[in-house]
Amino acid sequence: MSNTENSAPLANGPASPDKGIHCVLFDLDGTFADTAPDLVHALNQTLRKHGREPVSMEKIRPYVSHGGAAMVRVAFGSREEIHRQDLLRFYRQDICRRTRLFPGIAELLDELERRDVAWGIVTNKPGWLTEPLVDALGYRQRAGCIVSGDTLATSKPHPEPILHACRLVDRDPRRTIYLGDAQRDMEAGRLAGNLTLAALFGYIGDDDHPESWGADGAINHPRELLNWL
């Protein structure tokens, strides 16, 4: 998996409508958007409520893609449901104050749309958090589909959320890229028949080993995805 940071610019010419990739699906936290600042802020509000010292961004950032329960476990040393509920409540109150798209995502979306490549989001984040966040970022109307962790009875690493997304945009899963920053993303995409790419710019910690996830490739910057179309 090589670093192609100096790869070709976005305007590589339109993809053929008769072959290649017709759809790109994104994980949300750690892939589409850098949500860690708002989530860590909410976690520290939770810690203060329960008489604990705040934690640093560096400590929690690698766990953000694994959800609120993982963040609570690292910060509190346990997985008490009351702490997770407090975290989510604080997060919903201030869901997009510091969150931004990862650098290059906006330009990538523009180029995908120019090439008539459908795109959407498939996340394990619950819909009551996913939809207001994507709306606040300004992309809810542009996304071809948004599949949240509670849209169906199953979530990643089960492939059904990705297959459901492909049905919503009427695209062949075998001509779809799934981009994510966690092993379960690669497992779900592979089981769905996608081409899978690991987002190395996401929330990957020292204990993660993307080279063992079975992905078809890895990218260090969103624009590198265009090389796979």
Q: Is 98 exposed, middle or buried (0-12, 13-18, 19+ CB in 10 A)?
A: middle
Q: Please give the structure tokens belonging to residue 18.
A: 């008769």
How far is the C-alpha of 119 from the C-alpha of 146, rounded, in Å?
A: 9
Q: Please give the structure tokens belonging to residue 88.
A: 């989510």
Catalytic residue among 18, 29, 208, 216: 29
3-state secondary structure of 51: coil
Q: Is 44 exposed, middle or buried (0-12, 13-18, 19+ CB in 10 A)?
A: buried
Catalytic residue among 18, 27, 185, 206: 27
Asked whether 27 and 122 are in contact (CB, 8 A), the reply is: yes
Q: Please give the structure tokens belonging to residue 205.
A: 């910690």
27 a catalytic residue: yes
What amino acid positions are annotated as catalytic residues?
27, 29
